[in-house]
């Protein structure tokens, strides 16, 4: 049964509120994670709690239990000079910016001749996500996995 300190392996598919495919394990390895340590979004982790190998799931997760609400304050205009050393700056590129609590991933969402619009929101912020899938396996985590906080 899925509970804290279990390694869980799932096949999954996730779509947004418009039924656009976000991600899927189809054609790839299933996802394995350590349950109870925040390796996956809280809403999905809560929905999987108590399930067993062979169980299916279909859960809709709101932004507050997924990647958070979209925050317009996380969007800024940055002079192109800030990208010194980058050969070509384009919309869609991702960079790490230095924030008060360390590196923050940002994505360029728009550009003019003199500045770039950078967005520090997670690409799925503000989105309601629906996950469907099957629990493939549940096993006890090793002491090493527990101490490291992830699956080996």
Instruction: Examine residue 144 and state whether it is found in any structural domain, yes or no.
Output: yes
Total number of domains in the chain: 2
Q: Are residues 58 and 79 in the same domain?
A: no
What CATH number does residue 53 fall under?
Answer: 3.10.50.40
1 in any annotated domain: no
Q: Which of these, 137, 123, 124, lies nearest to 48 by C-alpha position?
A: 137
pLDDT at 46: 97
48 and 81, same domain (yes or no): no
Question: Residue 18 has which token pair?
Answer: 């418009």
pLDDT at 21: 97
- What does the pLDDT read at residue 76? 93
* HEC-encoded secondary structure of 82-116: HHCCCCCCCCCCEEEEEECCEEEEEEEEEECCCEE
- Residues 45 and 78 reside in one and the same domain: no
Q: Are residues 12 and 50 in the same domain?
A: yes
For residue 5 the two structure tokens come to 């300190």
In a domain, residue 89? The reply is yes
pLDDT tens across 111-126, in order? 999 999 999 999 999 9
- If one compares 18 and 85, the residue with the highest pLDDT of the two is 18
Q: Quick one: 128 and 142 in the same domain?
A: yes
pLDDT of residue 117: 96
Q: What is the pLDDT of residues 68-120, one digit of tens each?
A: 999 999 999 999 988 888 888 899 999 887 777 788 889 999 999 999 999 99
Backbone angles phi, psi at 135, to 5 degrees: -80, 120
Task: Name 122's Cβ contacts closer than 8 Å, sequence gap at least 6.
Answer: 67, 68
What CATH number did the domain enclosing 81 receive? 2.40.10.330
Residue 107 CB partners (closer than 8 Å, separation 6+): 92, 93, 94, 95, 118, 119, 123
- Residue 26's domain comprises 6-67+124-148
**Residues 63 and 10 both lie in one domain:** yes
């Amino acid at each position: 049964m899925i509970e804290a300190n279990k390694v869980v392996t799932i096949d999954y598919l996730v779509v947004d509120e418009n039924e656009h495919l976000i991600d899927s394990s189809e054609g790839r390895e299933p996802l394995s994670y350590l349950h109870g340590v925040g390796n996956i979004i809280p809403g999905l982790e809560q929905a999987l709690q108590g399930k067993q190998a062979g169980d299916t799931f279909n859960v809709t997760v709101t932004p507050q239990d997924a990647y958070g609400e979209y925050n317009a304050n996380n969007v800024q205009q940055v002079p192109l000079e800030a990208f010194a050393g980058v050969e070509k700056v384009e919309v869609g590129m991702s960079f790490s910016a230095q924030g008060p609590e360390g590196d923050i991933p940002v994505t360029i969402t728009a550009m003019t001749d003199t500045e770039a619009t950078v967005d520090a929101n997670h690409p799925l912020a503000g989105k309601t996500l629906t996950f469907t899938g099957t629990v493939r396996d549940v096993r006890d985590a090793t002491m090493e996995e527990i101490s490291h906080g992830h699956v080996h």
